Amino acid sequence: MKKVVFWGTRGSLPVALTADNVRQKIIAALTAANGKSFRNSSALNDFVDTLPFATRGAFGGHSSCVEIVSGGHEHIICDMGSGARPLGQSKIATYGAPNPQTYHIFISHLHWDHLMGFPFFTPMYIPGNRIIIHGCHAQIEDAFRLQMKAPCFPVDYSQAGARIEFDIMTPGQTQYIAGLNVTPKLQLHAGDSYGYRFDSIERSVVYSTDSEHKLESAEQHASFVKFFAKADLVIFDAMYSLAEAVSVKADWGHSSNMVGVELCQAAKAKRLALFHHEPMHDDNQLSRLLAETRRLEEITRDGYDPLEVISAYDGLTVDL
């Protein structure tokens, strides 16, 4: 495995920057510039790079879609949220329509925010492409067909040009797929969700979203420590604060930054990516959450090796 590309990182519902959000970024940038002048565009770019991410960038608003670049010829994707649209366009731009490709798509669960990008995933309309949808839900094919049925969508699933296959996996059972050992794990979420661990000889990546962690369950804790063990990257549902996750939003099926840090520390994982961002949070809030999570990791390290904490954003590429 070479890298991970985040195409959609938002939880529950895609969101977009508002006019006011953009205005605030411009005000923050101009305030920071404080009357400076720039000799050329390079100097201007250098200045922009000094600005906080929440000012010079944005976390983005597409729902869950993550690509694992294995270095092989076949493509590996986790979930088909709205981020699948730019991902599909990127593949067409890179490989061209007449050049058949194989896509392995691993589906965490069948909720809409994790499937809604599929009808906009251009490779599915192109004859010659092969799409294998892997998941653990017995009704996965029905769910994919259902969202493209009238009156929900104008193009019926039967119009797909690609050859689409479904592979029902068994939790806990490792399968060798596209050069990787892939192990699904049952997670706590309405209607069940599944995390996936991808292992190559040199690297391990865990995709674990839409997963609630019941703190009282030592057994569940131990099973996730094992699932995350020594991973190079853990992509983790950190939608809520811990206080929310155990009180007003208990049983909503999501987790927190704090549990992510604790599990990764116990599992001796190398890097934690906060993921499935709360759609109500703006870029400043998500940046603050990242800074707080890094501080939490620092003050709770207690003899563990440092855990690198990042926050996923649409367009982020992580080298493994």
DSSP character at residue 21? H
Q: How many CA atoms lie within 13 A of 175 on its CB side?
A: 15
How many whole angstroms separate alpha carbon 158 and alpha carbon 110? 19
Q: Which is nearer to other proteins, 183 or 256 (CB)?
A: 256
DSSP character at residue 110? -
Nearest distance from C-beta of residue 118 to other proteins, angstroms: 35
Taking CB under 8 A as the binding criterion, the range among 110-118, 132-140, 255-263, 275-283 that sits at the site for other proteins is 255-263
Nearest distance from C-beta of residue 133 to other proteins, angstroms: 34
Question: Is residue 74 a contact residue for other proteins (CB under 8 A)?
Answer: no
Q: 56 Cβ partners below 8 Å, 6+ apart?
A: 25, 29, 48, 49
Question: Is residue 226 a contact residue for other proteins (CB under 8 A)?
Answer: no
φ, ψ of residue 240 to 5 degrees: the values are: -115, 165
User: 64-78: string of b/e by CB count within 10 Å (b at 16+)?
Assistant: bbbbbbbeeeebbbb
* Of the residues 12, 55, 187, 257, which one makes contact with other proteins according to CB under 8 A: 257
Taking CB under 8 A as the binding criterion, the range among 39-47, 126-134, 156-164, 216-224 that sits at the site for other proteins is 216-224
Yes or no: say if 104 and 134 are a contact pair by the CB < 8 Å rule: yes
Question: Is residue 282 a contact residue for other proteins (CB under 8 A)?
Answer: no
How many whole angstroms separate alpha carbon 104 and alpha carbon 131? 6
Taking CB under 8 A as the binding criterion, the range among 99-107, 200-208, 270-278, 292-300 that sits at the site for other proteins is 292-300
Taking CB under 8 A as the binding criterion, the range among 9-17, 137-145, 161-169, 210-218 that sits at the site for other proteins is 210-218
Question: Is residue 258 a contact residue for other proteins (CB under 8 A)?
Answer: yes
Question: Is residue 26 a contact residue for other proteins (CB under 8 A)?
Answer: no
Q: Which is nearer to other proteins, 202 or 216 (CB)?
A: 216
* Of the residues 19, 138, 201, 218, which one makes contact with other proteins according to CB under 8 A: 218
Complete DSSP assignment for 163-226: EEEEEE--TT--EEETTEEEEEEEEBSTT-EEEEEEE-SS-EEEEE-S-B--TT-HHHHHHHHH
Q: Which is nearer to other proteins, 237 or 314 (CB)?
A: 237
Question: Is residue 229 a contact residue for other proteins (CB under 8 A)?
Answer: no
* Of the residues 24, 147, 246, 284, which one makes contact with other proteins according to CB under 8 A: 246
**What secondary structure, in 3-state letters, does 136-171 show?**
CCCCHHHHHHHCCCCCCCCCCHHHCCCEEEEEECCC
Question: Is residue 242 a contact residue for other proteins (CB under 8 A)?
Answer: yes
How many whole angstroms separate alpha carbon 317 and alpha carbon 242? 27
Lookup: tokens for 110: 């069948």
Question: Is residue 293 a contact residue for other proteins (CB under 8 A)?
Answer: yes
Nearest distance from C-beta of residue 219 to other proteins, angstroms: 12
Question: Is residue 268 a contact residue for other proteins (CB under 8 A)?
Answer: no
DSSP character at residue 306? P
Question: Is residue 219 a contact residue for other proteins (CB under 8 A)?
Answer: no
Question: Is residue 243 a contact residue for other proteins (CB under 8 A)?
Answer: yes
Q: Which is nearer to other proteins, 30 or 243 (CB)?
A: 243
Question: Is residue 269 a contact residue for other proteins (CB under 8 A)?
Answer: no
* Best CA proximity match to 183, nearest among 215, 212, 217, 224: 224
Report the interface residues with other proteins, using CB under 8 A. 215-216, 218, 221, 241-244, 246-247, 256-259, 262, 292-293, 295-296, 299-300, 302
